[in-house]
Amino acid sequence: MYEIEKETEFFVEVMPEGSLEVLSKQEVRRLQHTGARSLHNLLRCCALAVLNSGSETDSAVEMLEKHADFDLRIVQQDHGVTLALRNAPASAFVDGQMIRGIRELLFAVLRDIVFINNELVSRVMHENGSSEGITNTVFAVLRNAGVLHYGEEPDVVVCWGGHAIERNEYEYTKEVGYQLGLRSLNVCTGCGPGAMKGPMKGATIGHSKQRFHRGRYIGLTEPGIIAAEPPNPIVNALVILPDMEKRLEAFIRVGHAVVIFPGGVGTLEELLYLLGILLHPDNRNIPVPLVLTGPKSSAAYFKQIDNFIAATLGDEARSKYRICLGDPAEVGSFIRAGVNEVLAFRKQHKDAYFFNWQLTIEPDFQQPFHATHERMAALVLERDLEPHVLAANLRRAFSGLVAGNIREEGIRAIEKYGPFEIHGDKIIMQHLDKLLAACVEQGRMRLPGKPYIPCYRVIS
């Protein structure tokens, strides 16, 4: 699988596993070119995140500083390519052998970065960032990664939730995953720890009991977040989307139902993204089963979210989800019934089972939001906006908070200029402040045991 190189400073040479055994000479040159903003640096950061699976940090800055001496290069040989690694994290190896699952994910990183930064560049320029073009880009990345399975009935359940959750909440996510697995449903998450790992872990047992041998544990991530949420070891299909917005669209296009567990601002961003899409007039009759769930001890958390949605987006938004506490079997039954409804709808409308083409997703939900102090302060958060427009702007606010908490560029900006400022309608700001304060109090902004310094200031 690998050999020690004696004549160079690279210690381990890894053979491909699962994908991308061949690269062109031009692709190799681009990946080998170094520099602060180079493709090589992007590959290095994403590869390090995969090799660092199981890490206790949720800070991209901490991870990169801890492994500052890590590097890699592409070695092109007659039979294909290998990756030469220098000072890779020891946890990626057992008795000198790289763990096979990590090796698969490592080459999935290479596959997606090469595809996105070579084959998709000309496509995006040609289509000039149109809404249809962005959706086609999402489709192309997912297809290239092999996660779109033609001919299979709907069975993918997207599970969202935080990486910083209490132990009883994590155990609950496993129980829900188990119930999904018993119903022959597959799991798609953000691929990290906590509520992203638990449902996959539970589903493996449910699948095993049902002798279901097609278990898929899909992890969707993007370069800005993978360092803080490295893939958990159960993921067997990793996809790196170009940015957060395409990642979120990929979840909704490939999934057939959604389960939301307790989480922090990232989970709230995901919820607002989905609600904003479902509130669009064109999407109101398209079934997307959605349940918010956790142990009974999480009741106050979900009550706070429900109050926030009622105060900002209104009762129509609240009608799009169901809250179910302390009953994993009921969640499993609800989702199974919902997936059956999706199957009937797709049959009736002759829509693909593997990709939800019918959903209208407007540019407000597709264009990347790069959080800066100016952009965060300029967000329009007023109650007279249409609900799906307000949801899009609220989603951007939470995206900025994610950046301030865990993204390298966001952390650096906060260190330099201080907290982001969020302005808006007085009532919206009051409820936003309460919701964020509850997340801080419950330790949902960082991994347990670490003090949290707010990256934001709410101003009404």
Query: pTM value?
Result: 0.89
Rounded distance, CA 373 to CA 211, Å?
Answer: 52
Taking a C-beta distance cutoff of 8 angstroms, is the pair 297, 252 a contact?
A: no
- Residue 206 CA: distances (Å) to CA of 211, 216, 291: 9, 12, 20
Taking a C-beta distance cutoff of 8 angstroms, is the pair 368, 244 a contact?
A: yes
The pLDDT value given to residue 7: 40
The pLDDT value given to residue 25: 72
Domain locations in the chain? 2-128, 152-272+279-349, 363-459
The pLDDT value given to residue 3: 42
The pLDDT value given to residue 260: 98
Q: What CATH class has 152-272+279-349?
A: alpha beta
Cα end-to-end span (Å), the chain: 59
pLDDT digit string (tens) for 306-358?
A: 999 999 999 999 999 999 999 999 999 999 999 999 999 999 999 999 999 99
Question: Quick one: fold of 2-128?
Answer: MCP/YpsA-like (3.30.1850)
The pLDDT value given to residue 275: 98
Q: Which residues contact 227 (CB under 8 A, 6 or more apart)?
A: 45, 46, 48, 49, 52, 60, 63, 64, 408
At residue 379, what is the residue type?
A: L
The pLDDT value given to residue 258: 98
- Residue 262 CA: distances (Å) to CA of 192, 219, 307, 396: 14, 18, 15, 20
Rounded distance, CA 314 to CA 328, Å?
Answer: 28
The pLDDT value given to residue 40: 83
pLDDT digit string (tens) for 215-265?
A: 999 999 998 888 778 899 899 999 999 999 999 999 999 999 999 999 999
Residues of the chain with pLDDT under 70: 1-11, 16-23, 30-38, 54-61, 77-80, 118-129, 446-450
